[in-house]
């Protein structure tokens, strides 16, 4: 199955978020209400995006670390389809989030940290987590490390074999997707590459075309 395209919206106000999003949205499948945006303006951003784009899948990227039931319920009530947890959250917290997600017909994703444990990933899957994110961190990218290591790429296959939908992210450009050719990637995230582009629609279309080329 071909990966879905997710746009990460991490603006600090509604105007700067919705301007480029409106231009790109026809070419994306998932809209991520990013952590920075949610912190800046609260869960009203999820409500607004749900009202504007009712046919799109919406992620509230709140990166839950504790208080799983309370935070996830607020996200789903605001209109999110997916919520995110950090890898360091306890299994009890992640279990709480999964339970609430099931009430709403929603899904849970966990973003892998700098360290990786296959055993812990299997525990998430047993709890009912459906998505994991393999990430090249923003800090690592800022430091000039733009590589995707073999361990990152191999991890995509390992996690998919566990039953996860695997997302890849971290400043990905269209011409980088070939590194994942033949790998069972489920979602590709593009954030600044679309949202900060001079022409967000063209940037989203370029990423969409690259996905179709790498996963024909």
Residue 109's Cβ-side half-sphere holds a number of Cα atoms within 13 Å equal to 26
H helices of 53-149, in order, are 68-78, 91-104, 118-127, 138-142
What is the percent of the chain with per-residue pLDDT over 70, rounded to a whole number?
Answer: 94
Asked if 78 contacts 47 with a C-beta cutoff of 8 angstroms, the reply is yes
Query: In angstroms, rounded to a whole number, what is the distance separating the alpha carbons of residues 64 and 76?
Result: 13
Paired residues of 58 in beta bridges: 31
Encoded tokens for 197 = 């582009």
Q: What is the pLDDT of residues 139-151, one digit of tens each?
A: 455 555 556 777 7
* pLDDT for position 113: 78
In the 8-state DSSP scheme, what is residue 182?
Answer: T
Mean pLDDT throughout 189-204? Answer: 97
Residue 66's Cβ-side half-sphere holds a number of Cα atoms within 13 Å equal to 0
Residue matched to tokens 């995509």: 156
Mean pLDDT throughout 165-182? Answer: 92
Encoded tokens for 166 = 């695997």
> What rounded mean pLDDT belongs to the chain?
93
Could you tell me the CATH number of the domain that includes residue 20?
3.20.20.70
Residue 91's Cβ-side half-sphere holds a number of Cα atoms within 13 Å equal to 10
Binned at pLDDT 50, 70 and 90, residue 152 comes out as confident
DSSP state string for 36-73: HHHHHHTTHHHHHHHHH-TTSEEEEEEEE-S-HHHHHH
* pLDDT for position 56: 98
Does 111 have pLDDT greater than 80?
yes
* pLDDT for position 167: 97
Measured on CA atoms in the order 128, 65, 91, 172, is the torsion positive or negative? positive
Q: What is the pLDDT of residues 41-68, one digit of tens each?
A: 999 999 999 999 999 999 999 999 999 9
Q: Which of 99, 101, 91 is nearest to 66 (CA)?
A: 91
Mean pLDDT throughout 176-180? Answer: 92
Counting every residue written for the chain, the total comes to 216
* pLDDT for position 115: 79
Q: What does pTM read for this prediction?
A: 0.93
* pLDDT for position 127: 98
Q: How many domains does the chain have?
A: 1
Range of the domain at 74: 4-214
């Amino acid at each position: 199955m071909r990966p879905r395209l997710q746009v990460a919206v991490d603006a600090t106000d509604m105007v700067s978020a919705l301007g480029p999003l409106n231009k790109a949205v026809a070419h994306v499948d998932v809209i991520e209400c990013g952590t920075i945006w949610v912190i800046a303006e609260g869960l009203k951003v999820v409500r607004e995006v749900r009202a504007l784009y009712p046919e799109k899948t919406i992620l509230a990227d709140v990166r839950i670390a504790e208080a799983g039931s309370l935070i996830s319920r607020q996200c789903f009530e605001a209109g999110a389809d997916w919520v995110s947890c950090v890898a360091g959250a306890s299994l009890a917290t992640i279990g709480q989030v999964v339970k609430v997600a099931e009430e709403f017909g929603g899904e849970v994703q966990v973003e892998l940290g700098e360290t990786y444990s296959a055993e812990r990933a299997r525990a998430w899957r047993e709890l009912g987590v459906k998505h994991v994110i393999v990430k090249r961190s923003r800090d690592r990218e800022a430091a000039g490390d733009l590589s995707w290591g073999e361990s990152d790429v191999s991890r995509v296959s390992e996690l998919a074999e566990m039953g996860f939908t695997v997302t890849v992210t971290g400043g990905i450009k269209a011409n980088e997707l070939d590194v994942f050719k033949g790998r069972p990637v489920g979602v590709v995230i593009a954030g600044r590459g679309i949202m900060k582009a001079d022409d967000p629609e063209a940037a989203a279309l370029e990423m969409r075309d690259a996905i179709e080329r790498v996963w024909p």
